[in-house]
A = this chain, B = another copy of it.
């Protein structure tokens, strides 16, 4: 990972700083000019750096024809506000400029009662498409697809197919992927414009098509679609219904967006941030939204932390006889959290890369037990040596036991705690998946809080067992 802003040499027509300077300047004519000049992707990146007020000011300064041009690149929550303020004719203009997946995003964003109003403003054929698309959940393949594809029948001659495609050519983009279906609309394969062009016109499409039928069901999760696009190196993945009828496609750029979103979700879950990020950038997200997404986990973990507290409170009298033990308590506890999180991360990541099938539970657990035991005993040995040979003699005086005894307790505790935590970190996500939960919910804070308790129990237990007078 590196910082895209300090990078040396992206060649782009207009620099981000230049765009930001104009956006912050607030001059409407200059804003319109730079929006015409720069790539919409750069405008999108610049908007993300604005806070809410600046963003609203920017959108207000934008003439309608630029809104229609940039619409696909504006966060739909932002678009929604500006859209409301437009007169009806201009609303229609903006709506017609939206790609169908962006349109559906907008419809999902607005309240139920407004949705019908907006749909009424659409041209008839788009009304139907948007109703169709709205039936799929937001994070399903169907909710993410575009219906702008070229579709021809296998039973057509190439001449008929080319005539049909000529009608649709106003949107040249879709001609780079042409799908072949049977008479019931079921996906049979695909072909390219150049294959049609370079074959005799009387041949049947069926005879020249590529019979590749890789596709995904519309109700499947969007992440699965992205992973198929990655696995098969696809430019576009056909989306079909339960009868294998072709509905649309998810494109390679959607796959990138989906992976970025899922990546964000994984990272957030792994540090106990709940709920959806929404499509607003960090700086634009109100403080109260950040609060809402973070507080619940923090409170929950704090209450669970009372369990560790109770153990410390109940067992802490061991310290009275062997006060030197306090020196190693935080280390023993934290080593569990650290190694448990490592194991969980390894296993969760391998699962989401599709490397762990459903039958690997014991292979993974065995492997992690071995790793935990090795890390734990190595660590235990290092620290035991530190205690035995490096600890000031003054501290030895505090305890009725020899430093050798203390080294034994701390070393064994570290070994046991790390092994148990590594096992826990590996087994919990696998278990979560087995009962159809997202493995990432068993995230680091949960594991850490859990193994905090086991760590104290192990440490105090071993101390009582091995130290005289504890």
**Chain A residues at the B interface, C-beta cutoff of 8 Å:** 1-13, 16-17, 20, 39, 41-42, 44-45, 48-49, 51, 172, 175-176, 193-194, 197, 213-217, 219-221, 223-224, 226-235, 240, 242, 244, 252-253, 255-257, 259-260, 262-268, 270-273, 281-283, 287, 290-291, 294-295, 297-299, 301-302, 305-306, 308-310, 312-313, 316, 319, 323-324, 326-331, 333-335, 337-339, 341-342, 344-358, 360, 363-364, 367, 370-371, 374-375, 378-379, 382-383, 414, 418, 433, 436, 438-440, 444-445, 448-449, 452, 456
Known: A216-B9, A355-B48. A294 touches B339 (CB 8 A): yes
Residues of B near A8 (CB, < 8 A) are: 217, 219-220
Known: A344-B271, A349-B268. A295 touches B378 (CB 8 A): yes
Q: Which residue of B lies closest to A395 (CB)?
A: B313
Q: How many copies does the complex hold?
A: 2
A3 vs B253: C-alpha distance when bound (angstroms): 22
Contact in complex: B282, A308 (CB < 8 Å): no
Residues of B near A445 (CB, < 8 A) are: 337-338, 341
A7 vs B3: C-alpha distance when bound (angstroms): 36
Contact in complex: B231, A42 (CB < 8 Å): yes
A316 vs B318: C-alpha distance when bound (angstroms): 13
Q: Which of B42, B49, B270, B348 contacts A360 (CB 8 A)?
A: B49
Contact in complex: B371, A287 (CB < 8 Å): yes
Q: Which residue of B lies closest to A300 (CB)?
A: B338
Residues of B near A213 (CB, < 8 A) are: 11, 13
Q: Which of B1, B13, B45, B449 contacts A440 (CB 8 A)?
A: B1
Residues of B near A252 (CB, < 8 A) are: 235, 252-253, 256
Known: A13-B213, A256-B255, A256-B256. A338 touches B440 (CB 8 A): no
Residues of B near A310 (CB, < 8 A) are: 327
Q: Which of B5, B39, B41 contacts A358 (CB 8 A)?
A: B5
A436 vs B193: C-alpha distance when bound (angstroms): 48
Q: Which of B253, B337, B342 contacts A294 (CB 8 A)?
A: B342
Contact in complex: A327, B309 (CB < 8 Å): yes
A44, A257, A273 pick with most chain B CB within 10 angstroms: A273
Q: Which residue of B lies closest to A280 (CB)?
A: B355
CB distance from A165 to the nearest CB of B (A): 12
Residues of B near A197 (CB, < 8 A) are: 197
Residues of B near A221 (CB, < 8 A) are: 1-2, 7
Q: Which residue of B lies closest to A262 (CB)?
A: B1
Residues of B near A41 (CB, < 8 A) are: 231-233
Q: Which of B233, B259, B309, B383 contacts A329 (CB 8 A)?
A: B309
Q: Which of B264, B266, B301, B354 contacts A48 (CB 8 A)?
A: B354
A113 vs B283: C-alpha distance when bound (angstroms): 52
Residues of B near A306 (CB, < 8 A) are: 327-328, 331
